[in-house]
Amino acid sequence: MNMLDVGAVVLAGGEGRRFGSNKLLVDVDGRPLLWWVLEAVSHLDRVVVVGKYYREIIAAFPSEVAIYNPRYSEGMSSSVKLGLNFFARKEAILFVPGDMPLLRRDTVNRILSATSPECDAVVPVHEGTRGNPVLIMKRLFPELLLISGDVGARNVINRHKACYVECGREVIIDVDYPTDLSSFRQPA
């Protein structure tokens, strides 16, 4: 595996408007949804960027390093920027949505292993559909600091050399609505 100095930014600052409440603490196979994501990146330096539900998330995960985003209502870009500033000295940052319950360490390692000198970013795909988490190289950090609104890194990545790695459906499965919880089961 590539030995880049990577930090993982777990994006957990959303308002859960579509879900209707704090989806990150909803039970998924006996654990909070966010637990599955934290477990998948437990081998990396990581920080959880929290927003509206910061009290509940910090109480549920007291051993995690968390950054409170007071501008969470401005959208995902404000959380991305906080994560960038936190890990500014890293060679790369893995941006991980907190609502991906099927994500596993082996998938994270597959993404990390797909790096090469010509890649500005590594994007997982499943059967042609782009997914998450995405790995962003340090040379893109300054441009990412300029994004605004409820957007992530996609537009920045599109302007640069992305490398793609085929992964399982776990990279495209997230939870936006309560009905999404019944659409998958944890693999045994």
CA distance 19 to 9: 22
In this model, does residue 188 exceed pLDDT 80? no
* Residue matched to tokens 């599109």: 158
User: What is the mean pLDDT of the segment spanning 63-86?
Assistant: 91
Terminal C-alpha separation, the chain? 25
Please write the tens of the pLDDT for every residue from 105-115: 999 999 999 99
Q: Residue 41's closest CA among 16, 65, 75?
A: 65
The torsion of the CA quartet 18, 186, 34, 109, rounded to 10 degrees, works out to -120
Name the H helices within the chain: 33-40, 54-60, 76-86, 105-113, 141-144, 154-158
Mean pLDDT of all residues belonging to the chain:
91
pTM of the model: 0.93
Domains in the chain with CATH codes: 6-175 (3.90.550.10)
Structure tokens at 7: 């930090």
- Which pLDDT band, with edges at 50, 70 and 90, does 185 fall under? low
Coil, helix or strand for 121?
A: strand
In this model, does residue 73 exceed pLDDT 90? no
Q: What is the pLDDT of residue 157?
A: 93
Amino acid, res. 123: V
